[in-house]
Amino acid sequence: MTSPEKHRRQPARPADLRRRSALAGEAAAASAEVETALSTPADPTSAAFFDVDNTVMQGASIFHLARGLYRRQFFTTRDIADAVYKQAYFRIRGVEDPEHIAQTRSSALSFIAGHTVAELEELGEEIFDEAMAHRIWPGTRALAQMHLDQGQRVWLVTAAPIEIASIIARRLGLTGAMGTVAEHVDGVYTGQLVGDLLHGPAKAEAIKSLAAREGLDLSHCSAYSDSYNDLPMLGLVGDPVAINPDPQLRSHARQHGWRVRDYRTGRKAARIGVLSGAVAGALAGGVAAGVSARRRHH
């Protein structure tokens, strides 16, 4: 006979229990906030704008994209090793000069040069499923759904490529996305940007343009971000919210009475989030810079 002992479920580890408790608390808190907000009448002039990296999704979306493309042999480790080091040095030390910034901008999306828009969109769908879908913060997703349920439109606003931003928005059932636009000719990427990265002040300009076109009253709108760099966007709206904020944004939010929602688990996770954001950005920038250098060499 089979011993009953073999059928007994193994006790959960303390770390697993803590993680389950954290997720349960996160879901409950988000649900309570949603239920309260749903009693507010719909306002056609209001909308919500969400940053993506570390706000909607854990980590940097362009990092997940670059890693997925690397696995599909878009480039090699050797191509990016030196560039990653340089990017990490500048980002972590906080030392940047105009020449470095210009180089970063010019090479930001060069790793897709020569590939087609259709190819990137198809692979982006695959990469979302394998690397991004499970990284969506449930609490942030619940907040976005709250706005949709109130009859509001919801846009993602991110420095990530517009193709990836649009995939994320579509998979989450959102209205749309605004992201960095890469130049393409006859459906083939040139490796150059149209304008600049959608970052910092550029996000605010994009939102103002959209609001004018869609008849939105920004004082009735909400914006969500994790980064102090998004103050131009957050400062535009009547309801700015700090999600998983970096230390500077957390301090600013508290000083100005903004809502703060942190879906990370514990202080260790918060510290890791700050460092991983810098490293992910370094890798993403390094990927672009490395491939750009390789193409110039060839």
The answer for residues whose C-beta is within 8 angstroms of residue 283's C-beta and 6 or more apart is 63, 66, 67, 80, 84, 87, 88
| CA 273, chain centre distance (Å) | 13
16 is catalytic: no
Contact between residue 155 and residue 210 where contact means Cβ atoms under 8 Å apart: yes
Element (H or E) spanning 258, and its range?
none
> To which residue do tokens 């089979």 refer?
2
**From 51, 79, 230, 246, active-site residue:** 51
Confirm whether 79 is a catalytic residue.
no
Query: Residue 265 and residue 22: Cα distance in Å, rounded?
Result: 7
Distances from the Cα of 29 to the Cα of 33, 44, 47, 92, angstroms: 6, 26, 22, 34
* Chain Cα centroid distance, residue 155: 12
- CA atoms of 97 and 210, how far apart (whole Å): 32
Any idea which residues carry the catalytic annotation?
A: 51, 53
